[in-house]
Amino acid sequence: MTVYDIIDAKKRGNALSEAQIRFFVREVASDRASDAQIAAFCMATLLRGMTDEECFILTDAMAKSGELCRRPSAEGVFADKHSTGGVSDSTTLVLVPVLASLGVKCAKYSGRGLGHTGGTLDKLESFAGFNVSLSAQQFERQVRLVGAAIAGQTEHTVPADKRMYAVRDVTATVDSIPLIASSVMSKKLASFADVILLDVKYGDGAFMREAEDAAALARLMVSIGRAAGRDTCAAVTCMDQPLGDNIGCNAEVREAIEVLKGKQNDLATLSLYHCKKLAARALKISETEAERRAQESIRSGAALAKLGEIVRAQGGDDAALQDENVLPLAKNCRTVRAKGAGFLHISALALGRACVELGGGRKREGDRIDHTVAIILKKRAGDAVKTGDTLAEIYYNGASEDAFALADGAFRCSGEYAPKPLVYQFIGEEPKNV
């Protein structure tokens, strides 16, 4: 068996055997497969596709190509949520403390932002001193004592996926649904969550532009998760406009804290939707009861207190929970005003890119982030506006005409606006009367 033979078989549209797939992944993880061979395999997969069975085997092999995350000794059900990426999506900062306050364990591995999407680890580092690089022992101890931990995965986790993704990124094969699904789910299977909710975005600011493409990806990932014995479900959600009103690390942490204090907006709605779905499955209660408990956790302050406990446990300063000025915004402010009248349309992608241009995101892995950069929305898509109305405020340290142009172009007015539901489809409902 050779890598060449495997590439040739997939190029001809043949389904690969389990032995072929596992051999290929071993060759990738051990560096015996060249970047050129990985690129050829990825292109053949993009053009020829994979069966659900092939996808599961590929995912399982990639998950096992490195170290598997040790399950903490704490008792109870472990839940995890993964988003495919968006703009102003800080649901993890709301969801984890709410679930943990309800007794659902959240031992969560998250990532950093790249391109126009923000990263949970970057946002958590807005809390001065917050440590996202926990050892396995630290991670396990915190989950046992606090009920939740959020950290980055080690370099030894899913090494085959790291190599394949790096090649996909420069060979126009990122948009292969089988490869996206196996990349996302390999990280989930390398971990230990009992219940997994996948938030698959579609729309202007998402990787998948069309809802049906996102739904196809969601269905495949749910299939992989369930084949691995995990209780997996997915929500296909809209990312045409930013989920929250704030974009940028410090600003998004401020808003997550506001939501935990009762603020109502799309960020709050989707966060509680995910909480309801996960808590119902983890605690074996109805979704109505799960939603009631989640709302009570926020009303009582229990969720906010739990966030503070998580921050302190990971070495962070939780003063921002009581004083948002501990999370400063950049010194300069520019106002974006409506150039016409009508119903407002907002491009999440343009605003995400504007934030990156201002230094609030990364163009390349390893770039430093300015946590004080922010774009604060003063109007939402669908609002009726008049010429000259304030649409957003941009907080910046270094002027960037490209960023200002992107932000200005993110807003337009027209005579009509057709709203889309925040949740397009939920995949993975349990059969009735079971």
Residues 6+ apart with CB under 8 A from 5: 20
Q: Which long-range contacts (CB under 8 A, 24 or more apart) does 44-50 make?
A: 44/7, 44/10, 44/11, 45/10, 45/173, 45/176, 45/178, 45/179, 46/173, 46/175, 46/176, 46/179, 48/10, 48/11, 48/12, 48/13, 49/177, 49/178, 50/15, 50/16, 50/178
pLDDT for residue 352: 94
What residue ranges define each of the domains in the chain, with the CATH number in brackets?
Answer: 3-63 (1.20.970.10), 79-321 (3.40.1030.10), 329-414 (3.90.1170.30)
Task: Give the per-residue pLDDT at 157.
Answer: 84
Q: Decide if 187 is catalytic.
A: yes
**Catalytic-residue membership of 412:** no
Q: Is 81 a catalytic residue?
A: no
Which among 130, 125, 93, 97 is positioned nearest to 112, based on CA atoms? 125
Find all residues with CB under 8 Å of 128, minimum gap 6, and list them. 316, 317, 326
Residue 390, SS3 per DSSP: strand
List 64, 105, 112, 187, catalytic entry:
187
pLDDT in tens, 279-314: 999 999 999 999 999 999 999 999 999 999 999 999
- Distance, CA of 14 to CA of 375 (rounded, Å): 49
Locus of tokens 């109870």 = 76
Long-range contacts of 69-72 (CB under 8 A, 24+ apart): 69/109, 69/136, 69/153, 69/157, 69/190, 69/191, 69/192, 70/136, 70/140, 70/192, 71/192, 72/105, 72/107, 72/139, 72/140, 72/143, 72/144, 72/192
**Residues contacting residue 423 through CB under 8 Å, at least 6 positions apart:** 235, 236, 237, 238, 270, 273
Confidence of residue 430 (pLDDT cuts 50, 70, 90): low
CB 84 within 8 A of CB 206: yes
> Is a pLDDT exceeding 70 seen at residue 66?
yes
Instruction: Compute the C-alpha angle 328/330/332, nearest 5°.
Output: 140
Residue that wins the pLDDT comparison between 91 and 115: 91
Q: According to the model, what pLDDT value does residue 116 have?
A: 79
- What's the pLDDT tens digit per position in 142-167? 998 999 999 887 778 889 998 998 89
Backbone angles phi, psi at 217, to 5 degrees: -65, -45
What is the average pLDDT across 414-418?
Answer: 94
- The residues with which 231 forms a beta bridge, in sequence order, are 195
Question: Which residues on neighbouring strands pair with residue 106, listed in sequence order?
Answer: 148
- Whether the pLDDT of residue 366 is over 80: the answer is no
Question: Could you tell me the sign of the dihedral formed by the alpha carbons of 405, 408, 411, 415, in that order?
Answer: negative
Instruction: Say which of 90, 183, 223, 271 is annotated catalytic.
Output: 183
The pLDDT tens digits for 325-337 are 999 999 999 999 9
Per the CB < 8 A criterion, the answer to whether 92 and 148 are in contact is no
Kindly name the residue from 81, 82, 188, 254 that is annotated as catalytic.
82
Highest mean pLDDT among 63-77, 195-209, 257-271: 257-271
Token readout for 427 is 């995949």
Q: How far is CA 202 from the centre of its chain?
A: 13
Q: Which position among 60, 89, 161, 408 bears the catalytic label?
A: 161
The question of whether 380 is a catalytic residue gets the answer no
**pLDDT at residue number 431:** 41
User: Structure pTM?
Assistant: 0.91
Write down the catalytic residue from 105, 116, 163, 168.
168
Told to judge if 156 belongs to the known catalytic residues of this protein, a careful annotator would answer no
- The answer to which of 64-78, 83-97, 346-360 has the lowest mean pLDDT is 64-78
**At residue 433, does pLDDT exceed 70?**
no
